[in-house]
Chain A
């Protein structure tokens, strides 16, 4: 019998150590969280902002860093009209404090010992928790066959592009496949449409290999991809999803 450790989730104050621009619309926040007990790749934290009049707004953000790193790194996309993300991407500076709770979640998580093959499917900033898995895989020295299918609007909006190039060049067992849905560089030879069943068939490991699939992004993309994967023959239990909702925020 598993012994449960009752521990209510509580808010604590983190410090922003560094703000790193990733793309024109995304930034990574390197945090220092006193007593951080570590996380699993795929988990998230909740961030809470409190205005002077006491009004509070709260959102969830995925952890981008590998569990092997000592402190968590979040990557946040600036959402126009968002209540929380514009503050995180435009106002917050190194040295600022931030109210946070977590790590949270255990369902949408992958550890190297879970094996594979692994298919990661990302839409936009949905790549963040999947990047934690890719980074964990590298840090753990895992050679689990992994494919990341990553849909971005344009080349400039691909988050972690250089790091993904570096990691996939280093190892044959990691493949990164991009699709660009709105604009593309002139010499672009990759996919140029939204992710569909045909693309998933071409990119995904065959169902017979019993792949583990993790899908993260805006709700319509996640639902379309999850449905298509099951149609192709993936075991629904092995298709895990995380939806960002229509806007995030």
Chain B
């Protein structure tokens, strides 16, 4: 897919800061799929230009966060994240 860029958690930092008030890349996630715990900055990010951002677990490829944005409305899907630890 030419429009899909495989990046890492740093790339999601800007878009995720549109909805979260904390620095996202240093937050710890726990993956609902495999239980891996790591900093979000180390996760994989797939940016689909014009559509949104998917943050995936590097171990099991489970979608941790899906963020889509259209006409000033955001949809944040956190089903794949068991919890986030911030600060």
Contacts and interface: CB of A to CB of B under 8 A. Distances in A.
Contacts of A1: 87
A108 interface: yes
Contacts of B7: 219, 243-245
B18 interface: yes
Contacts, number: 69
User: Is chain B's binding surface mostly helix, strand, loop or mixed?
Assistant: mixed
Given A107-B39, A240-B41, A240-B42, A4 B18 contact: no
A104 interface: yes
A245 B6 contact: yes
Interface stretch (A6-14, A25-33, A130-138): A6-14
A52 B10 CA distance: 30
Interface string B26-52: 100000000000011110000100000
Contact of A4 (B8, B10, B86): B86
A9 B7 CA distance: 21
Contacts of B11: 60, 243, 245
Contacts of A9: 14, 17-18
A106 B25 contact: yes
A246 B5 contact: yes
B9 interface: yes
